[in-house]
Amino acid sequence: MSISYAIRPASPAAHLFHVTCRVERPDPEGQRFMLPAWIPGSYMIREFARNIVRISALAGNRRVALEKIDKHTWRAPPTTQIELAYEVYAWDLSVRAAHLDETHGFFNGTSVFLLPIGLEHEQCTVDVLPPAGARYRNWRVATALAPARGTRRLGFGTYVATNYDELIDCPVEMGDFDLGRFSVLDTPHEIVVTGRVPKLDMTRLTTDLATLCETQVKMFEPRSRRAPFDRYTFLTMALGDGYGGLEHRSSTALVTKREGLPFTGMSESTEAYRNFLGLASHEYFHAWNIKRVKPAAFVPYDLSRENHTRLLWAFEGFTSYYDDLLLTRAGLLSEPQYLTALAKTLTTVTQRSSRLKQSVADSSFDAWIKYYRQDENAPNSVVSYYQKGSLVGLALDLSIRAQTKGKRSLDDVMRLLWKQWKTAGADYHGVSEDQIALTVEQATGLSLAQDIDEWSAGTRDPDYEALFAPFGVNCARRPDVDAAHFALLGIKAAAAHAECKLTHVFDGSPAQAAGLSANDVLVALGGLRVTPSNLDTLLSRYATGDVIELVAFRRDELMRFEVKLATQPPVRFMLEVNQKSTRAARQLRHGWIGRARSASRRN
C-alpha cells in the first residue's frame, strides 16, 4: 500500500491523538499534504488544521524540514519516501470533528488524516491503535471502515479505505460502548451508544430502528428491497443535552440528549424519543439523498474551500420532509403527531419574515456565510433550507398526489433520481440546478417547473390550505397568543445571569418600532421589575393596542421605550383530519402518510 496511516489516542487526558501518515512514492517535486477546511455535510469553513499541535517529517531515518505553504497545506522536500508524524488536539464534542478523553475517543477523518495531494484516489490503510493502560482494556472500535485481514470487526487493528473520500466518510468511535445489532432485509445494522444511559432499552431501540430502516429501503427499492450498503452503523453519543447528526454513506454520527433514548419501563413514546428517531431517520435517508445522489457541485468535493450549490433545499429540505413522514409510515409516529409536527414547521417558517427576503436556493448557496453563521438578525434575514425546503417537498408531494389521483408522488421522483445514480455508475456527474423540475416531469408526467421555480428560486408561499384540502386535512391559521412576549412585543428573550435579555427582535414588530434591540436587558415593564420568568405574566395584564413603558439597559446605559403592543398577533398553523372526509380524500391521505392511527404503536 502506498499510503498508510496510524492513529493512537496518545494522551486521552490531554485530548491528543498521535497520527502518522506514510507515503511510499511521494511526488518527486516534494509531496504536499492538506487537511480539509470543512467536513462534507456541514457547510462551514472550520479549518481543522488549527488543531494540529505539532508536526514533523522523516525520510528514511532522517528528519526533514516541512514547509507550510498556506493555512492547511505543508510541503515536504523531494524524497523517495516520506512519513509525517503529528499530534491533533481533539476536544470538540460534536459530530463534525474529534473528541478524546478517558471515557472514549471519536474522530472524523477530516480532523485527523492529512491528504497527500494528488494521491486522493489511492487505496490506503489505517492502523487504529489502542491507548496504553489497563483501564482501556474493554475499549472496542466502531466504524464503517472495512477491517483488513487479521483484524476482528470491533477490534483495534488495521482498516482499509478504497480512497481518501471513503477514509473521511467513515468516522470512528472507540470506547467501552453499548452495542445493539439488528438486520434490515438481510443487511446487518448496528447502533453504538456512548455515554451513560441508565437502563437503556436496546431491544426497543433496535426494533424501532429496524422498522424505520426497512420502510426507507422499501421506498427506494420496492422491488429488490436491497440497501445501498453492505452494513450500516449508527454511532450515537448520549449527553445531558444535545441534538445533531452528520450523514455518511454507510454510517452516521449522532448526538442526542439522554432522554432521547428509550429505557426499560418507558411505556409511552416520549417526544424526546420521537425526536431521536426523527434524527436517525433523517441521517439514514441521506444514505441515498446527498451521499450518493448529490448536487453536481459536490462531484467531487473540493475540501480546500466553500462548495456552492443552490440545491440544499432539495437535498436537506426533502430529507427533512421525509424524516418524520417515513416515521409515520413506519407506524412510529401517529397521524395526529405527524400533523402537529408539520403544523409546527409551517408556523416557524411563516412567522419569520426571512422567507420573503431570501429564497431557499439563495439560502443554499450562502449556507457557508449565513445559515451556518446565524446571528441575532437571522429570523429576519436567513430562511432555513431545511424547514422551508421541507415545505417545498410537502407542496410538491401533495400537488403530485392530488393531480395524479394518488398514482404518482414525490417518492417516484426520489426513486428516479436514485435510478439515475445507479445507471450512471462511475460517470455520475451529480444533480444539476435545473434537474429537479425535469425529473419531476419525467417521473410524474406533470409540468410543475413554474411552481418549483417560484417556491425555491423565488419566495412565494405555497397555498397550504388548498394543497391539504384534497387529503381531508383542515389547515387553519389561528392567533398565536401562547407566548405573550412574542405575540405582543415581537421578541425572543432568554435568561442571562438572572437577567431577561432580548435575543431576537423581529422585523416589523412593536419592539422594533419602539427602538428595542437584541442584547438589550429588560429591567422594568409598566413600572414593575422584569425577571426571565415573569415577563409573560407581567404582559398578560395588557391587551393588543395598549401602550406600555419598558425600561432596559443597552450596554450599561439605561433607556426607556414606549411600546404599542401588537394589534395582530402572529399566526399559528393547526392541521387536523376532517372526520367527514370523503373516501377519495381518505385514500389519498393513506397513500401519503400510511394507514390512519389514532395513536402510535406504543401510544
- Residues of this chain that bind Zn ion (CB under 5 A): 316
Sign of the dihedral through C-alpha 271, 274, 280, 281: negative
CB of 144 to Zn ion, least distance (A): 18
CB of 278 to Zn ion, least distance (A): 11
CB of 241 to Zn ion, least distance (A): 20
Strands (E), 197-285: 232-239, 243-247, 251-257
CA proximity to 403, closest of 465, 470, 321:
470
Closer to Zn ion by Cβ: residue 200 or 383: 383
Closer to Zn ion by Cβ: residue 17 or 321: 321
Closer to Zn ion by Cβ: residue 190 or 316: 316
Pairing state of beta strands 62-64 and 115-116?
Answer: unpaired
CB of 310 to Zn ion, least distance (A): 17
| Helix residue ranges per DSSP H, 157-198 | 164-168
CB of 248 to Zn ion, least distance (A): 11
CA proximity to 321, closest of 371, 412, 388:
388
3-state SS class at 262: coil
CB of 209 to Zn ion, least distance (A): 17
Closer to Zn ion by Cβ: residue 227 or 314: 314
CB of 240 to Zn ion, least distance (A): 24
What is the separation, in whole angstroms, between the first and last Cα of the chain? 54
Looking at residue 51, its amino acid is N
Determine the Cα–Cα distance for residues 578 and 583; give it in Å rounded to an integer: 12
CB of 312 to Zn ion, least distance (A): 9
Main-chain dihedrals φ then ψ at residue 187, nearest 5 degrees: -100, 125
Query: Nearest-5° angle of CA 357, CA 362, CA 364?
Result: 125
Q: Which residues contact 474 (CB under 8 A, 6 or more apart)?
A: 468, 574, 575, 576, 577, 578
Determine the Cα–Cα distance for residues 85 and 105; give it in Å rounded to an integer: 19
Closer to Zn ion by Cβ: residue 316 or 366: 316
Q: Which residues contact 293 (CB under 8 A, 6 or more apart)?
A: 417, 418, 420, 421, 431
Closer to Zn ion by Cβ: residue 386 or 486: 386
**Which residue number places its CB atom closest to Zn ion?**
316
3-state SS class at 507: coil
Secondary element (H or E) of residue 427:
none
The grid cell for 270 is 416520549
CB of 286 to Zn ion, least distance (A): 6
CA proximity to 163, closest of 104, 224, 222, 118:
118
Determine the Cα–Cα distance for residues 142 and 156; give it in Å rounded to an integer: 9
Closer to Zn ion by Cβ: residue 316 or 412: 316
Closer to Zn ion by Cβ: residue 252 or 337: 252
CB of 316 to Zn ion, least distance (A): 5
Determine the Cα–Cα distance for residues 128 and 206; give it in Å rounded to an integer: 27
Closer to Zn ion by Cβ: residue 259 or 316: 316
Closer to Zn ion by Cβ: residue 25 or 292: 292
